[in-house]
Amino acid sequence: MPGVFCVKKHLIETGMAVLMLLCFYILSREAAETAGKLVNVSGNIKEEKVILVDAGHGGADSGMIGVDGLKEKGINLEISVKLKKVLEKRGYTILMTREEDKGLYEENTKNMKAQDLQNRIAMIKEYKPLLAVSIHQNSYSDPAVKGPQVFFFEDSEKGKRLALVIQEKMNQQLEIQRPRAAKGNRTYYLLKRSEGVINIVECGFLTNPDEAGLLQKDDYQQKVALAIADGIDEYLASEKNEKN
């Protein structure tokens, strides 16, 4: 009965092949799950929830100088670190452009400022965060001028939406008496050259004595960080709703 034998053999072979495929499927799925877990446990980049926080200036670049010689770079870093902690507690993975008083340029470089900005822009390009916020402080010749202001790249619809909501949260939560409006811009190098959604958040004016005083205080810095984080949360929630 060679015919029957052949059919049987064929059935067995088909069965084995299906079984092997099944095993392969289960094993590869487990491997993928394990890899996913490892990424989370080790704190590596969980791609879908990465936010880049850029503390402006640093090192030889002090940024704006405010009342009593107050340097922008230090305030930027203090607020950025607080923002990182708030966002991490909310489940985001945070990339920082700097975590100490150091610029992103090589020593003895000719064009320190350009190299510094290019490296920040390169980080955004490499890691492709959901969005990036660059933390800065403002200054003006008239010491009466004050209040936070958020800047976005003029041609970025998403950048504008993020800026509007961060601006609104800051105006509300910091109880700003004469609130400013978020503003579009086409000339800021960081806004112009960065990929994806990015805002420059000017938290206040270091040339206004009252605001400069507040911006040096831990609890006010924390309020600033919370307002920015709330803005980010609300923006991302609205993005998600739009997708669904």
Question: Judged by CB, which is closer to Zn ion: 61, or 233?
Answer: 61
136 binds Zn ion (CB under 5 A): yes
- Closer CB to Zn ion, residue 39 or residue 112? 112
82 binds Zn ion (CB under 5 A): no
- Coil vs helix vs strand at 102: coil
Closer of 56 and 66 to Zn ion (Cβ): 56
The least distance separating Zn ion from the CB of residue 64, rounded to whole angstroms, comes to 6
- In the bound state with Zn ion, the residue whose beta carbon lies nearer, of 92 and 205, is 205
59-67, 87-95, 109-117, 207-215 -> range binding Zn ion (CB under 5 A): 59-67
Backbone angles phi, psi at 54, to 5 degrees: -110, 110
- Report, in Å, the least distance between residue 157 CB and Zn ion: 25
Q: Are 121 and 193 in contact (CB under 8 A)?
A: yes
* DSSP code of residue 176: -
- Strands (E) across 62-119 are located at 93-96
Does 63 engage in binding with Zn ion (CB under 5 A)? Answer: yes
Question: Shortest gap between Cβ of 93 and Zn ion (angstroms)?
Answer: 25
Q: Which residue has the tokens 């052949």?
A: 6
Sign of torsion, CA 191 45 90 79? negative
Query: Cβ closer to Zn ion: 120 or 136?
Result: 136
Mark 115-144 as b/e (b = at least 16 C-beta within 10 Å).
ebbbebbebbeebebbbbbbbbbbbeeebe
- The yes or no reply on residue 56 touching Zn ion (CB under 5 A) is yes
Report, in Å, the least distance between residue 61 CB and Zn ion. Answer: 9
Q: What's the CA gap between 108 and 125, in Å, rounded? A: 25
- The residue count for binding Zn ion (CB under 5 A) is 3
98 makes contact with Zn ion (CB under 5 A): no
Q: Which residues bind Zn ion (CB under 5 A)?
A: 56, 63, 136
